[in-house]
Chain A
Amino acid sequence: MEQLRQQQENPAQRFDRPPVPDSGLYSFRNEHDACGVGLVADLNNVPSHKIVTMGLTVLKRLMHRGAAGGDPDTGDGAGLLLSLPDEFFRKHVKKLPEAGKYGVAMLFGGVGHEAEIEKIVAAEGGRVIAWRNVPTVPGKIGRAARETCPVIRQLFVGGESYADQSALERKLFVMRRLIEKTVPEAYVCSMSSRSIIYKGLLLATQLENFYTDLGDASFKSPLALVHQRYSTNTFPTWSLAHPFRYLAHNGEINTLRGNLNSLTSREPHLASELFGEDMPKILPLVAPGQSDSACLDNMFELLVAGGRDLAHSLLMLMPQAWGKNYHLGRDVRGFFEYHSALMEPWDGPAAVAASDGVNACAILDRNGLRPARYTLCKDGLFVLASETGVLDLDPADAVRKGRLRPGEILYLDLENHRLLLDGEIKSRVARRRPYRRWVEENKISVNGLFSEVTPGEVPGNLTYMQKLFGYSREDVEILIRPMAASGHEPTGSMGNDAALAVLSEKPQLLFNYFKQLFAQVTNPPIDPIREELVMSLLTYIGNPGNILAEKPQYARLVKLQRPVLTDDEIGRLEQIGSNDFRAKVLPMEFPAGGDGRMLERALKRLATDAVAAVQENNRILILSDRNPSPGSTPIPSLLATAAVNRALVNAGLRPGVGLVVQSGEVREIMHFALLIGYGATAVNPYLALQTVTALSQEGIIAADPVIAASNYINAVDKGLLKVMSKMGISTLRSYRSGQVFEAVGLSQELIDEFLPGTASRIGGIGLDEIAGEANARRKEADQSDNPLLPDGGVYQYRRDGEQHLWTPASLAAFRQGVQTGDYAKYKVYSKLIDDQAGHLCTLRGLFDFAETAPIPIEEVESVESIVKRFVSGAMSLGSLSPEAHEAIAIAMNTLGGMSNSGEGGEDAIRYTPGPNGEDRSSAIKQIASGRFGVTIDYLRHAKDLQIKMAQGAKPGEGGQLPGHKVDKYIARLRHSMPNVTLISPPPHHDIYSIEDLAQLIYDLKNANPRARVSVKLVAEVGVGTIAAGVAKAHSDVVLIAGHDGGTGASPLTSIKHAGLPWELGLAETQQTLVLNHLRDRIRIQVDGQLKTGRDVIVGALLGAEEFGFATTVLVCLGCVMMRKCHENSCPAGIATQDHELRKRFAGKPEYVMNFLRFVAQEVREYLAQLGLHSLEAACGRSDLLKMNRAIDFYKARNLDFANMLRPAMGPAIHCDDAAAKEPLENYDRRELLPELTKHVKNGKKIVIDRKVCNVDRTVGTELSGDIADIYGEKGLPEDTIRVRFTGCAGQSFGAFLAPGVTFELSGEANDYVGKGISGGKIIIRPAAEATFKASQNVVAGNVIGYGGTSGKVFLCGQAGERFAIRNSGVTLVTEGVGDHGCEYMTGGRVVVLGSTGVNFAAGMTGGLAYVYDETGDFDLRCNVGTVDLETVEHGSGDEAELLALLREHAESTGSEKAKAILADWVNSRPKFVKVFPVEYRQALGRMAREDAEAVDRRKEDN
């Protein structure tokens, strides 16, 4: 009855489209999800109901990794995959054939389409046995879930007619695909004779109550695969819950679009004897409207159905990194190399568990970015999950406690009752076929090809060609020259205030209309320098299309180590000569002066020619503009590439063809990235290489032409790695065709025709304008015989160059206005900025206000009230001088706004009033990836704790403060040493996924329950959904930063080409949050080149409540936009630590206050004009904005802001500050504080005992905060408060632990133990009852001690990846670590009494590590880029230190390993390797010298 009602409510529910239509800038395809996965199995392979129950328990224990949306009772999704419960079904369905001879489809919806479905089943040879209504209890689930709850049924299909169960499975797959294609009203969760899936839009706790089947004792399975979902958005659907047919996935596939594009290009080639005629029925393989995980599942399913086993298929899709830094067997390497040509990696953070209902396996991505811990018990019970401790097992039962390491796989062979580990599986799979020999015998080796770089030869018409392709002096001087001189991409500083390409009056290259996308929150960027080993630029020509077959000739490939080709290399490529790799050159050009139609015709011809060339057996196509014919204009290479690529894909010809682009346009890294991102195999930047040679020959750079050329190519390689890494993509093969760009200012028509799938949200120019700009370049080249190129003016102001907001005139008026308090002067400035009619720069410059009835200005909120909504941008002490940093804090505090500490800690003296009673403390304390100076004391002294996920000027990148900028003061605040380089990693290493962010937010709320938490994001397509995820993670504020935000140092590529204008990001965020009913929970802050009251008003109307200013604040203080912050040479004494230059600082807090009051005054004027009484009333009123049609600029004419300005309608369009926040619920309040608070106050010693389990997270952090409140940085004396825990600690155990607190844990712990530890002590050892050998098992998870500043951690057992990462002063001892141990460490001591993973000490610049190297091959796994390896000498200070640590470790943990080492010290000492950072050694030497000099001076004084 209940179901009948639902059916009436949802008559037309369809599963082939999103649950809500796209609206405004919101698009369903931007959703991300992440979560927790688990796998429970009985190696005895005995189906039991206990396993089902355990699966459900695991789910409940992972609930904190999931999320709920606007409706708190509706989860984002949960589900289980189980072996087909034959016994149970036999009870409910009569006349079932024997097990293995029938299949079951689990169906959502499809009511009324039974006949169609049955027809499909019958047509494929199946026999419809019965339909079964799956009993459900909708009363037990959330409202939103109930409203969309489909009818859930099972269809039983008899498969007696097939040869065997595999054939039945394949047919069930074909049937399912046909059902999906013909009955969009139905969703098939699973259709198999081996497995079944129960899932839904549920919270983990609701699953068993909703599906009563699961409670039935006869419902038995030997395995359960479970998944708890966290979707960024709140339109999760029933169908997108995991598991899918085979797998459950925690993480994100960053390369999805590229993978799907490649799949599309391969589909025409797919053929398999197993499928035979059925192949077309399952194509297209991937149904629309799916999540990344669902797509991965589809691909996996195909490979499995095609005959590969589970492990083989997973290894093909998610290969480990197999570059030279990995020590692999030759067969295994051969396996990966062979398959790398068949399939590009599906890349991104991922823990995947998969099962076919019989066996199961699990794998981790190559970077190890998701956790996966497992326990094997004596009785054969196996549990693997995102966390350990998800089942309460008797510690005495455990045989083995382990974890999946990066790229590792494990396999549960239930049929043979075995757990197979990584090495065995990979060797077995690698020897299935002679892959290694296939590769060796077929690889194309052309003598000398790509062995060394040959420089370009300077042609006579170099300048002409440069002009033809729009070169400016800046291109040569600022971009190419540093690349050729030093092999690095150039660096710049401050934000980008130049015109968007579509608003520029200068002819723009098509490249400039694109912006790079980047990873934030839902997936982490990679460090392309320190973690280069996981990345690869390797690429092939000649890839086979049919991935379902395995043939030796599939290894017949041209292998390119990098995608940049020199002239010489391209020449050789043309002459490989052998018949199977013939090359053909196709010119990219259209008639000079031709319009869009002529350009289109030329593109079509080029595409047709390309298809014909491939049909004539050419395997390498070279699209070239090298020899432009007279009377023609080059076609923008990106357009030509995309058009040809698309034509080849459509013709089913793409996979085997190498598409090489030979273009004079290409010079910057962005250009290469775009061409490859839209399908190019390789690129020959001949003109750039010629320019490099010319620079060398003219003596402008010191390098000779060969070195210069290889420098340039190296810089491009590194730059490409960086662009890929920003998106979290490891291999060029996955990046290709990935289209990870957003277009700004290109018309939808153009996008649909040539660049489909690319976001372009405000319309814009088409072929006519593109042709026009290309012709303009040609005309300029033809007409002018000036030997000089135009000056450019993009990076630096030039009078006849690109338009900028900051000009000499605007800056002068600004400076004079704020320094003298002259509002009229300020108005001169604001008019210059706001009135862009003559010099369009920004999108908001094209806005106008709607006509409304004004009100008298007296009725408008006061200046004093408005300025409270203003904050200053995050600028660290370190990037700024202390004088400037404090001046800003004082100004903001005086106004009642907030200043932002930036990343780099803060001097505790600033927490007390200054000499004149001024408040110098930064109200906003930033938590960035480097965690410099982030202590419990720092966190407690904040009003706002801001997590910086990305920075406008360089989203997806880390930072570096070079040693010479680190003086004593900075070093003290950052808990490092003077002159030691400090590196901030690209990602937060405790945030690889949205649920991790939720965890960090929780950590911070515990650290300082009084402060609000904000999350800083950078605008890009999809930022709205990420903001929704952030809101669901209980952040109080989300900051949307524009692409144009400032920086102290960033690669120019990033400043210029990454991120979107805030107008777009803000509008999308507002619309998405309102649509999701989340808007009232969270405040929106905006920043990015906010300059005037008008900017503030536009921001408010688009949805912002708070407004950030950074560049302007610096200009108030005297900044003159040198754009040289990265050189420490700031002439205004602002962005420098140089003591002489700092004396020049002449800024005053009053200047900043003048400015912000002027802005507020201007805001009032606009509010009055708009008839609004307050800024709050303006918030979200985008109906008051319209496009200013009076500005008639040819390129802007087709811009369409309708979607952007569409006001979001919902119950709340701004934050409801009055709404009660959920009170903080934590372990400390429950278990610790009641007893310990008085001891915190009186400082008396106490010891207590407590139990913990994995859901108890962030234990001890609020306690620590309370200690910091009273005692500040120094905390309590050691061991004042001791807590002895038993059990399995949840994440962030002892995070930010304060001095005086000691945590002893018997059991094990999850990730982030001792995160940010600030002086406390943590001891973890296995439970007393445990029988396994502690040193060979895992006792704590990943990222232990991240960003800790002081304190001690002793782990009796092994830890996971990234142990002691960004350690600034903590002492840690452990008995084995995973990959990337001691990464970015700048201080402290680490002792590892066992093996390490790869890349140990990457980017380590300070502190010391001692590694017990029993096998003598530690040096192979250590990244020796910044460190030296030494022995611990007998009688040395090192020895004494090490011995003391070993003794303390043995004493506190009872470590057998430590005892054994100590017992045989004479023989163990030589096995210790001391890891000594080079810079640290130098800094120590310098300090010793200075000390000696000081002693000498004192002597002299005496």
Chain B
Amino acid sequence: MTQRIHDIYRPVDQRVRDFEEVEREFSYDELNEQAKRCMNCGIPFCHGSGCPLGNVIPEINAAAAAGNWELAWRILSGTSFFPEFTARICPALCEGSCTDGIDTDPVMIRQLEKTVIETAFKKGYVKPLTPKTRKEQSVAVIGAGPAGLSAAAALNLAGYNVTVYEKNATAGGLLRYGIPDFKLSKKVIERRIDLMKEAGINFEFNTEVGVDVSGEYLHKRYDAVILSVGTPLARDLKAPGRELGGIHFALELLQGQNRVNSGECEELPISAAGKNVLVIGGGDTGSDCVGTSVRHGAKSILQIEIMPKPPEDRSPSTPWPDWPYLLRTSSSHKEGGDRRWNLATKRFLGENGHVTGVEVVTVEWEFTLLGRPVKFKEVPNSTEILPADLVLLAMGFTGVAPDGLTAELGLKVDERGRVQSDPKRGIFVTGDSARGASLVVWAMADGKKSAEEADRYLSGGE
């Protein structure tokens, strides 16, 4: 029986020397075999409960297994506007609910998706998604992240005149500025944006709504407004010494690197070269910091996390087909640095206004019966000092501020920073702005859904 391929990256020594995508090329033969592992389930959980977009994965796999990549692409593009994004950076919820994953390893759904879409690009199947007929009505989309782009594509395809407003110089949002090139090459985004422009979507870059142009103006000028500004506020760590130099939000490092790579700016605002890097936060952003620091040539890298180390295998608290709670090791973790868990940050230590270390304390967790951490307490006398001259805070995002644009548009923001739509007035909030910080694939799914709502609103509820 064919086994899942675990070796999916370029060799470490090679990949840390560049910012090219870390994943290796797969041969069609390899993937064709992998596609055959798909069992074409009667209830495909990948499609039915895993994938937020509802990609019809078994049929895509079946077509891939038959070598019919064009059909596979057609089925894939029936549910997803940007499979090339998710194929690279999605944690693949589908694989978490894959039936094959109950006993063995799940099917390589994400890798197959990537091959399907890249083959489609290569063979020229991918064409701008233009509507059959153009409508009179127009829609403004605020924010060109994955949610906004998804909504824009859907509305454009439905025939609306769509303008996307983006404060940055190019589109993509966190895809563009947050995710390192070694995971998602920015050429991939450019390629898609070009197609969207060709399809008739108008982009207004370097235009921050609420600053450069008022929200109220957009609301008046357009028949509907889609708000998709993500969750701009990163979570801060209010500990003594926070004001010291050398303590940055993760995004500052990642964004800087991306801008340099694309030529948007020339010099790195923050470099980890030769430094002892401490990443606080054990999530994906943290691991991106690790990979970036490795490439900068950091002296040492340590990623710490207050939570306990997750189990190596699926925790009983997340039985199949739930998204498994388990230890995730990214490509970056294999490139260098250490990881530690159960550490709470007490304060930052510094000299000359610059950080030199972090005082942490070991915590002990209480677990539920099924192994989920619920409560912690500090272990007495466990304080230690971790040396660091660059500290990166990667502890997630807190949502949208209730002032500024949201206030101007008269939208409600809940206590967790989530903005609510006002469908009666034609304002639809989507993506992280509405949901709270989440995955790109959710943003894309939300964008599509909000576009459908907007379409219903605009076409008079038909």
Q: Which residues of A contact B49 (CB under 8 A)?
A: 808-809, 812
A1131 touches B45 (CB 8 A): no
Chain A stretch 467-500: residues in CB contact (< 8 A) with chain B: 473, 477, 494
Q: Which residues of A contact B356 (CB under 8 A)?
A: none
A808 touches B40 (CB 8 A): no
Residue A2 CB within 8 A of the other chain = no
B74 touches A1124 (CB 8 A): no
Q: Which residues of A contact B48 (CB under 8 A)?
A: 797-799, 807-809
Residue A815 CB within 8 A of the other chain = yes
Q: Which of B26-34, B53-61, B138-146, B328-336 has 4 or more CB atoms under 8 Å from chain A?
A: B53-61
Q: Which of B96-104, B166-174, B261-269, B272-280 has 4 or more CB atoms under 8 Å from chain A?
A: B96-104
A797 touches B42 (CB 8 A): yes
A787 touches B74 (CB 8 A): yes
B103 touches A786 (CB 8 A): no
B75 touches A1121 (CB 8 A): no
A402→B385 CA distance, assembly (Å) = 106
Q: Which residues of A contact B322 (CB under 8 A)?
A: 812, 816
Q: Provide the main secondary structure of the chain B interface.
A: loop
Residue B47 CB within 8 A of the other chain = yes
Residue B68 CB within 8 A of the other chain = yes
Residue from B39, B68, B78, B319 in contact with A1124 in the complex, judged by beta carbons closer than 8 Å: B39
Residue B12 CB within 8 A of the other chain = no
B43 touches A1131 (CB 8 A): no
Residue B321 CB within 8 A of the other chain = yes
Q: Which residues of A contact B319 (CB under 8 A)?
A: 815-816, 819-820
Residue A576 CB within 8 A of the other chain = no
Report the minimal beta-carbon distance from A703 to chain B, rounded to whole angstroms. 15
Residue from A473, A808, A1140, A1144 in contact with B43 in the complex, judged by beta carbons closer than 8 Å: A808
Residue A1215 CB within 8 A of the other chain = no
Q: Which residues of B contact A788 (CB under 8 A)?
A: 74-75, 78
Residue A249 CB within 8 A of the other chain = no
Residue B327 CB within 8 A of the other chain = no
B40 touches A700 (CB 8 A): no
A641→B321 CA distance, assembly (Å) = 48
Given contacts A700-B66, A786-B78, A819-B319, contact A1131 B44 (CB under 8 A): no
Residue B132 CB within 8 A of the other chain = yes
Residue A1123 CB within 8 A of the other chain = yes
Q: Which residues of B contact A799 (CB under 8 A)?
A: 47-48, 54
Residue A1122 CB within 8 A of the other chain = yes
Residue B8 CB within 8 A of the other chain = no
A785→B78 CA distance, assembly (Å) = 12
Q: Mask for A786-797, Cβ within 8 A of B = 1, else 0?
A: 111001000111
Closest to B78 in A: A788
The total of chain A residues at the interface (CB under 8 A) is: 38
A809→B321 CA distance, assembly (Å) = 9
Residue B407 CB within 8 A of the other chain = no
Report the minimal beta-carbon distance from B404 to chain A, rounded to whole angstroms. 37
A806→B48 CA distance, assembly (Å) = 11
Closest to B48 in A: A808
Chain B stretch 89-117: residues in CB contact (< 8 A) with chain A: 97, 99-100, 102-103
Residue A1225 CB within 8 A of the other chain = no
A797 touches B102 (CB 8 A): no
B78 touches A1129 (CB 8 A): no
Given contacts A473-B59, A808-B321, A812-B49, contact A1120 B74 (CB under 8 A): no
Chain A stretch 751-801: residues in CB contact (< 8 A) with chain B: 785-788, 791, 795-800
Residue from B42, B100, B320 in contact with A796 in the complex, judged by beta carbons closer than 8 Å: B42
Residue B237 CB within 8 A of the other chain = no
Closest to B99 in A: A1120
Q: Which residues of B contact A1146 (CB under 8 A)?
A: 103
A808→B1 CA distance, assembly (Å) = 26
Closest to B1 in A: A1140
Q: Which residues of B contact A1122 (CB under 8 A)?
A: 39, 41-43, 99
Q: Which residues of A contact B68 (CB under 8 A)?
A: 700
A1124 touches B42 (CB 8 A): yes
A791 touches B59 (CB 8 A): yes
Given contacts A786-B78, A815-B319, A1131-B102, contact A791 B43 (CB under 8 A): no
Q: Which residues of A contact B75 (CB under 8 A)?
A: 788
Q: Mask for B307-327, Cβ within 8 A of A = 1, else 0?
A: 000000000000111100000
Q: Which residues of A contact B1 (CB under 8 A)?
A: 1140
Which among A473, A477, A820, A1131 has the greatest number of chain B C-beta atoms within 10 A? Answer: A1131
Residue A25 CB within 8 A of the other chain = no
Residue from A796, A1123, A1132 in contact with B102 in the complex, judged by beta carbons closer than 8 Å: A1132
A1121 touches B74 (CB 8 A): no
Q: Which residues of A contact B47 (CB under 8 A)?
A: 797-799
Closest to B75 in A: A788
Q: Which residues of B contact A1124 (CB under 8 A)?
A: 39-42
A796 touches B54 (CB 8 A): no
Which among A809, A812, A1124 has the greatest number of chain B C-beta atoms within 10 A? Answer: A812
Residue A811 CB within 8 A of the other chain = yes
Report the minimal beta-carbon distance from B41 to chain A, rounded to whole angstroms. 5
Closest to A492 in B: B42
Q: Which residues of B contact A811 (CB under 8 A)?
A: 43
Given contacts A812-B322, A1121-B41, A1124-B39, contact A798 B56 (CB under 8 A): yes
Q: Which residues of A contact B44 (CB under 8 A)?
A: 796-797
B45 touches A812 (CB 8 A): yes
Q: Which residues of A contact B56 (CB under 8 A)?
A: 791, 798
A1120 touches B78 (CB 8 A): no
A770→B68 CA distance, assembly (Å) = 37
Report the minimal beta-carbon distance from A783 to chain B, rounded to whole angstroms. 9
Known: A494-B42, A820-B319. 14 other contacts (CB 8 A): A473-B59, A788-B74, A791-B59, A795-B42, A796-B58, A797-B44, A808-B49, A812-B320, A812-B322, A1120-B43, A1120-B99, A1131-B102, A1131-B103, A1140-B1
21 contacts between A and B (CB under 8 A): A787-B74, A788-B75, A796-B58, A797-B42, A797-B47, A798-B47, A799-B47, A799-B48, A799-B54, A808-B48, A812-B320, A816-B319, A819-B319, A1121-B42, A1122-B39, A1122-B99, A1124-B39, A1124-B40, A1124-B41, A1124-B42, A1131-B39
Interface on A for B, CB 8 Å cutoff? 473, 477, 494, 700, 785-788, 791, 795-800, 804, 806-809, 811-812, 815-816, 819-820, 1118, 1120-1124, 1129, 1131-1132, 1140, 1144, 1146
